[in-house]
Amino acid sequence: MTTKKNQPTHPLDSLVRTDRIPHIWCPGCGVGTAFSSCLIAMKSSGIDLQKTTMVSGIGCSARGPGYTNLDSYHTTHGRAIPYATGMKLANPQLNVVVFSGDGDLFAIGGNHFIHAARRNIDLTVVCVNNLNYGMTGGQVAATTPSLSKTTTTPQGNPEPPFNLPLLAFASGATYVARWTILHTRDLTKSIEEALQRRGFSFIEVLAPCPTGYGRRNRERPLDALRFYQEKSIIKNDAHPADIILDYQKGITLGTFVDVEKPTFTDIYEKTCRLDPAACM
Amino acid sequence: MRPEVLTGEHFLTGDEACAEGALAAGCRFFGAYPITPATEIAERMALYLPEVGGTFIQMEDEIAAMAAVLGASSAGAKSMSATSGPGFSLMMENFGLGIYTEIPCVLVNVQRAGPSTGLPTMPAQGDMMQARWGSHGPYEVIALAPSSPQEMFYQTITAFNLSETFRLPVLIMADEVTGHLSEKVVIPEADAIKLQTRKLPRGRKDRFKPFQPGPDEVPPMAAAGEGYGIHVTGLTHDERGYPAMSPEAHEKLVARIVGKIRNNRHRIIQTESYRLDDAEIAIISYGVSGRSSLAAVDEAREKGIKAGLLRLITVWPFPEELIESLAKKMKALVTVEINLGQIHLEVERCSRGRCASFLVGHAGGTVISPDRILESLEAIHK
Amino acid sequence: MKFWRVPLDAIEVEVTQGVVHIIEDRCKGCGFCIVYCPRDVLEESPHFNAKGYHTPRVKKEGACVNCHYCETICPDLAIYSVEAQPASS
């Protein structure tokens, strides 16, 4: 490492397995920025980092937890949320953060997402949405915009994408936000808030995938950032049904849901633990 | 509040006894998904786990149930799930994750007749090879096959002990009849039950390598939140837990995962012999078929056929040496199981052609009657 | 920079100064920090790092206000700023 003599270390190095850096993410990929924001938020939120664990499934974003020196679990494709659910229920003292991608959390893992949100498991779910499957080379995902080209939709995507914040809201998430990697301060603040909230929190982070998505849709990393800059409309508290993610019309960003509801554990303790007869 | 160990004499089904075994073994998390004929295990755990300080959750599918079980164990709780054929298939990927990341837990398969939805309410032993090879890649498993409610109780405790000792998901391969059969189950005092717990790390936390094995090839295990800062991945990993993408690292890790079971097989394998000493024909069986076989041995002896029984309590790792030594002594080995020949293939492999080997089996849906076994014994005897 | 209206206390307000640090070997040359630095402190260096990427370099010494934006948008943990020590009087 050619850090200059007497150069102070990077402020996030205390949370990173520096012997594993540089990481695997491509030049211009946005996962690293979302990852840094997550680490900054963890530091600034004041949560006990020894009691904090990061869980992921499979994919580019899912490699994130492996770069922290926190307890981290890189599990099977789509199954980060049920794995995290088991961890949280077995030890409610843990702060459990799921950091994974859109393909992992919303295609193969979509069922787990809606059920964890419905149950209001106390998790913080950060989804890096790069609009495609990056790790396998740019295939269509449940988030790929209609008509976009991917390796498995060479003529253009015939399917409409999910509106992830709406899905999270409809499923019962108590904190829902969407930002891009350009909006690092808002993003970091959002993750910080989500870490401090009890309940199922969901943050979607739009990020460029120059190698998979960008290459086939004439979008270089800086084009994506410019697009985020020009087309973003921040509307905090907007109803998730009204928010858009459209290359022509724009992208709605903000914190859309921030409510309090008893978590699964709260209700379990009340209904099952104290009065066993209630379980009969 | 009920005690953790329900000491006393009870009239329980195998499924209920299994749940009692789990509670007595210290199981404190159950990730469930209902499926006949394993549902009763989940039902009893749902009722009693909260009373002993554990947590029960019915997940959205068996994939999630298995993932939650691994997660809970990673967070330090003894964890368990129970399922049957279709759910077992769905759990296989995460079962492999548990094998590779060495997460102790117990998975019960109360077998019903497959393939596919098959005969959901009727018995079979058709998942024995799936238990061995159901997830992808080379690995070793431990699978137990109880044949009565009493054994469901004890083998569940054994399964937890083995899983904690060797750090892997341990399978209980029961069957619909053993699961639904009601019999007397004697539960001893809590003090009389020997429990194993996972080996914990010692020394400086910042120097801990989560996959550095001890002399028994098993690494100590740190749970999340204990301050060790471990990384656990289903990718091939080195002793630090870091992904290690090379054939050499893969060879090393797989060899250890396989070796820790193979090299400790004498500590793991349990079998039960009945009238084998002077036998000429040995029946090899397990689970409910072991009970039919027991009756057949007595009936055969009455007819002057020198039959004996080797009942496998541990099916995997397979008692290879024992079968080989039996093959040297016997005229014939007869495998009795409710499938079209799975353990039979193992028996044949291990007997190395030293004696004749026969299968008494069918595709599933009912038990194998002692009469049918006797018929075969008579035919072989002639 | 020219302002059409200057706050009355502008002279008294101390603007923090920052020093940019670049860990060259971590950089993958995406250019995010260069394009989005609010003070336009950085430019692409003609120099290649060990992996063959053009890293950023500081073009305006003393212009950094230690806002940390480069630090947060950098996907590679390769750039950060620290507050400059005030010149001893």
Report how far residue A110's alpha carbon sits from residue A40's, in angstroms, rounded to the nearest whole number: 28
Whether A76 sits inside 8 A of B56 (CB atoms) is no
- Closest to B93 (Cβ–Cβ): which among A65, A76, A89? A76
Helices B39-48 and B14-25, packing angle to 10 deg: 40
Residue of C77, C79, C85 to mutate for A, most A C-beta atoms under 10 A? C77
| Closest alpha carbon to C34 in C74, C84, C76, C88 | C74
B window 40-79, beta carbon within 8 A of A: 46-47, 50-51, 55-57, 59-61, 63-65, 67-77, 79
Q: What is the CATH number of domain A25-279?
A: 3.40.50.970
Q: Confidence class of residue C9 from pLDDT cuts 50, 70 and 90?
A: confident
Residue of A5, A14, A33 to mutate for C, most C C-beta atoms under 10 A? A33
Maximum C-alpha span of chain A: 68
Alpha helices by DSSP H, listed for chain B, are 14-25, 39-48, 62-74, 85-100, 128-133, 149-166, 176-180, 247-262, 265-268, 287-302, 320-329, 343-351, 370-381
Token digits of residue B69 = 């079980």
- Closest to B94 (Cβ–Cβ): which among A72, A79, A88? A79
| Closest alpha carbon to A116 in A151, A85, A162, A155 | A85
| Spans of chain B below 70 pLDDT | none
Chain C residue with Cα closest to A36: C72
pLDDT at A3 exceeding the cut of 70: no
- B339 and A CB contact within 8 Å: no
- Its domain, for residue C42, covers 18-83
- Closest to A27 (Cβ–Cβ): which among C30, C50, C69? C30
pLDDT at A248 exceeding the cut of 90: no
Chain A residue with Cα closest to C73: A33
**Residues B79 and B72: beta-carbon distance below 8 Å:** yes
Which residues lie below 8 Å from residue B200, measured CB to CB, with a gap of 6+?
Answer: B220, B221, B222
- Establish whether chain C is in contact with chain B, requiring a minimum of 3 CB pairs below 8 angstroms: no
Report residue B246 CA to chain centroid gap: 32
Q: What percent of chain A lies above the pLDDT cut of 70?
A: 95
In tens, the pLDDT along A188-229 reads 999 999 999 999 999 999 999 999 999 999 989 999 999 999
What is the pLDDT, as a whole number, of residue B13? Answer: 98
Residue C12 resides in a domain: no
- Closest to C73 (Cβ–Cβ): which among A10, A11, A181? A181
What is the pLDDT, as a whole number, of residue C85? Answer: 80
Alpha helices by DSSP H, listed for A141-241, are 164-171, 184-196, 215-216, 221-231
Report how far residue A186's alpha carbon sits from residue A254's, in angstroms, rounded to the nearest whole number: 8
ω into residue B247 within 30 of 0, thus cis? no
In tens, the pLDDT along C76-88 reads 999 999 999 876 5
Whether A22 sits inside 8 A of C74 (CB atoms) is no
| Total residue count of chain C as it appears in this document | 89
Around B323, how many Cα atoms within 13 Å sit in the side-chain half-sphere? 27
Residue of A71, A100, A115, A274 to mutate for B, most B C-beta atoms under 10 A? A71
Strand order in the sheet with B332-336: B271-274, B307-312, B281-285, B332-336, B356-360
Residue with tokens 């073009």: C59
Exposed, middle or buried: residue B277 (CB in 10 Å: 0-12, 13-18, 19+)?
exposed
What is the pLDDT, as a whole number, of residue A27? Answer: 96
- Closest to A30 (Cβ–Cβ): which among C50, C51, C75? C75
Residue C29 resides in a domain: yes
In tens, the pLDDT along A105-114 reads 999 999 999 9
- Establish whether chain B is in contact with chain A, requiring a minimum of 3 CB pairs below 8 angstroms: yes
Residue C5 resides in a domain: no
Report how far residue C30's alpha carbon sits from residue C10's, in angstroms, rounded to the nearest whole number: 36
B window 76-115, beta carbon within 8 A of A: 76-77, 79, 93-94, 97
Torsion on CA atoms A119, A121, A126, A129, rounded to nearest 10: -20
- Domains with residue ranges and CATH for chain B: 8-192 (3.40.50.970), 272-381 (3.40.50.920)
Residue A180 Cα, gap to closest chain C Cα (Å): 10
In tens, the pLDDT along C43-87 reads 999 999 999 999 999 999 899 999 999 999 999 999 999 999 876
Report how far residue A210's alpha carbon sits from residue A214's, in angstroms, rounded to the nearest whole number: 4
What is the pLDDT, as a whole number, of residue A274? Answer: 67
Report residue B144 CA to chain centroid gap: 3
Chain A positions in Cβ-Cβ contact with residue B227 (cut-off 8 Å): 50
Residue C80 Cα, gap to closest chain A Cα (Å): 6
Residue A227 Cα, gap to closest chain B Cα (Å): 35
Q: CATH number, domain at C23?
A: 3.30.70.20
Report how far residue B125's alpha carbon sits from residue B362's, in angstroms, rounded to the nearest whole number: 10
pLDDT at C1 exceeding the cut of 80: no
Whether C73 sits inside 8 A of A33 (CB atoms) is yes
- Closest to A279 (Cβ–Cβ): which among B50, B74, B228? B50
Domain count, chain C: 1
Chain B positions in Cβ-Cβ contact with residue A273 (cut-off 8 Å): 50-51
